[in-house]
Amino acid sequence: MSDMHFNEETAQALDAEDRLAGFRSQFFIPGGNTPQYYFCGNSLGLQPKTARAAIDQELEDWATFGVEGHFHAKHPWMPYHSELRELLANCVGAKPVEVVAMNSLTVNLHLLMVSFYRPTPKRNAIIIEQGAFPSDRYAVESQIRFHGYRPEDCLIEVEADPSTGIVSMSALQEALKQHGQRTALLLWPGVQYRTGQAFDLQAVTELGQRHGCRVGFDLAHAAGNLPLQLHDSNADFAAWCSYKYLNAGPGAIAGAFVHERHSTAELPRFNGWWGNRQDIRFQMKPNFESTPGADGWQLSNPPIFAMAPLRASLEIFETAGMAALREKSVRLTAFLETGIAQELSNVLRSVTPVASEQRGCQLSLQVLAGRSQGRSLFDFLSANKVIADWREPDVIRLSPTPLYNRFTDCYHAVRLIKQWAQQHG
Ligand SMILES: *Cc1c(COP(=O)(O)O)cnc(C)c1O
């Protein structure tokens, strides 16, 4: 892409030959008559037009069937979560038995840590990346305290490059060499939320497991963004939310993965009736025999109205295919990056790695003139319908997503930033 001309004609030509371009019309683009240039799929994905019908169907079936909707609804509520299983598994490269749609992300991290963070006096540390998402940090700190240990002793943060926030694999390697012996859990991002850096899940898992650690991933910014091979990664567990790239709506039902090798293991865990074996669940007896696989981590019967838009969204991913989406995504982000390099090299720098294997669709940009100018640019973009987001202390995230963004969106964003730079030059 580096030798391409970044201009409007090129953008239009790329849109014209884009075989996924039709998916854009399956989403509501906010902004009314002058649609927004929406680059915020990393924070809240746009609404699939099929979401409303999916929710309406459940409201209608509730009205029509009452309690019998559990069996007679178009999508019976009893096995509702299992109808999502295959779609979810395809989306993250897992076996169906390894995934479940349930709860929200931080809740799932906690439930999975109950099983996979089992500190002992000799092995009680958790390794995370420096600058981890606050919720993950609060979750691991509180887990450490819950077990009677102290975060000051047990929380290890792998050092990031101070100016970019990028965490090298050699830094992780070093941390494991130094602390691996006393580490119970390595909890790692698939894509780091602030920098957009993507990690090789298999390589990270191998490193952690070589030191005897359990390895889990937070895939909040990876699910629906990168084609994942969760099963092959050999990770112990993973969790993700579904409202970012997965477009399932604000606070959508999250996902969880537990590797097949744990599917019948008697791991310590918090139980609820929906994790009980299906054939005995309704016998209402005191005995609990966990249903095999990730399903066994479920507690409650699922919130159907919240699951419906996830179904609608996953069906779109199934139709488009993660491989095709990724192929476009790589080109879309490279196009945006080319524009920044050609037109804005004296205005912005990207902290996101340049190699496509080390990033998803997001570019994290810093304004060279500093934080307050960064804020000014961000406000200017928002006022002009380019929807990015701001992450403290100084990063503007722009995430062109292959389902609903166009190459001309990227062109427009660069042109607008240039306009701002001319006014502030
Ligand atoms: C978005 C995000 C969250 C949000 O957590 P919720 O439980 O869904 O509110 C947590 N961790 C990471 C890394 C995220 O990117």
Residues 175-195: tens digit of each pLDDT? 999 999 999 999 999 999 999
Total domains, the chain: 2
The predicted pLDDT at position 287 comes to 87
Query: Does 213 have pLDDT greater than 90?
Result: yes
The predicted pLDDT at position 279 comes to 86
Residue where one domain finishes, among candidates 301, 319, 337:
319
Q: What is the mean pLDDT of residues 64-77?
A: 97
345 and 419 housed in the same domain: yes
Residue where one domain finishes, among candidates 304, 319, 334:
319
Query: Does 2 have pLDDT greater than 70?
Result: no
The predicted pLDDT at position 140 comes to 98
18 and 87 housed in the same domain: no
* Nearest CA, atom 13, ligand 1: 133
The predicted pLDDT at position 266 comes to 83
In a domain, 50, yes or no: no
Q: How far is CA 415 from CA 8, 345, 384, 421, in A?
A: 10, 13, 12, 10
The domain that contains 114 carries what CATH number?
3.40.640.10
149 and 243 housed in the same domain: yes
- The CA 106 to ligand 1 mean position distance, Å, reads 6
- The CA 193 to ligand 1 mean position distance, Å, reads 9
Write the pLDDT tens digit of every residue in 318-375.
999 999 999 999 999 999 999 999 999 999 999 999 999 999 999 999 999 999 999 9
For a mutational test of ligand 1's pocket, the pick from 241, 246, 389, 399, i.e. the residue with the most ligand atoms closer than 8 A to its C-beta, is 241
Write the pLDDT tens digit of every residue in 15-46.
999 999 999 999 999 999 999 999 999 999 99
The domain that contains 398 carries what CATH number?
3.90.1150.10
Q: Supply the range of the domain harboring residue 132.
A: 55-319
341 and 284 housed in the same domain: no
Find the range with the poorest average confidence among 132-146, 223-237, 287-301, 399-413: 287-301
The predicted pLDDT at position 425 comes to 67
| DSSP annotation of 359 | B
- The CA 353 to ligand 1 mean position distance, Å, reads 22
Query: In angstroms, rounded to a whole number, what is the distance separating the alpha carbons of residues 193 and 352?
Result: 11
Write the pLDDT tens digit of every residue in 290-314.
999 999 999 999 999 999 999 999 9
The pTM is what? Answer: 0.97
In a domain, 406, yes or no: yes
Mean pLDDT score of the chain, rounded to an integer? 96
Length of the chain: 425
All residues at 6 or more sequence positions from 96 whose CB lies less than 8 Å from its CB, including other chains = 85, 86, 89
Radius of gyration over every alpha carbon of the chain, rounded to an integer in angstroms: 22
Query: Does 1 have pLDDT greater than 70?
Result: no
Please identify, by atom number, the ligand 1 atom nearest to the C-alpha of residue 189.
13
Query: In angstroms, rounded to a whole number, what is the distance separating the alpha carbons of residues 313 and 249?
Result: 9
β-strand partners of 348:
367
Pocket residues for ligand 1 (CB within 6 Å)? Answer: 104-106, 133, 135-136, 189, 193, 218, 220-221, 241
30 and 67 housed in the same domain: no
Question: What whole-number percentage of the chain has pLDDT above 70?
Answer: 99
The predicted pLDDT at position 3 comes to 62
* Nearest CA, atom 8, ligand 1: 105
Please identify, by atom number, the ligand 1 atom nearest to the C-alpha of residue 132.
13
Query: In angstroms, rounded to a whole number, what is the distance separating the alpha carbons of residues 388 and 410?
Result: 12
* Nearest CA, atom 10, ligand 1: 135
Backbone angles phi, psi at 334, to 5 degrees: -65, -35
95 and 30 housed in the same domain: no
- The CA 149 to ligand 1 mean position distance, Å, reads 24
Q: What is the mean pLDDT of residues 393-417?
A: 97
All residues at 6 or more sequence positions from 171 whose CB lies less than 8 Å from its CB, including other chains = 158, 159, 160
All residues at 6 or more sequence positions from 97 whose CB lies less than 8 Å from its CB, including other chains = 260, 263, 292, 293, 294, 295
- The CA 194 to ligand 1 mean position distance, Å, reads 12
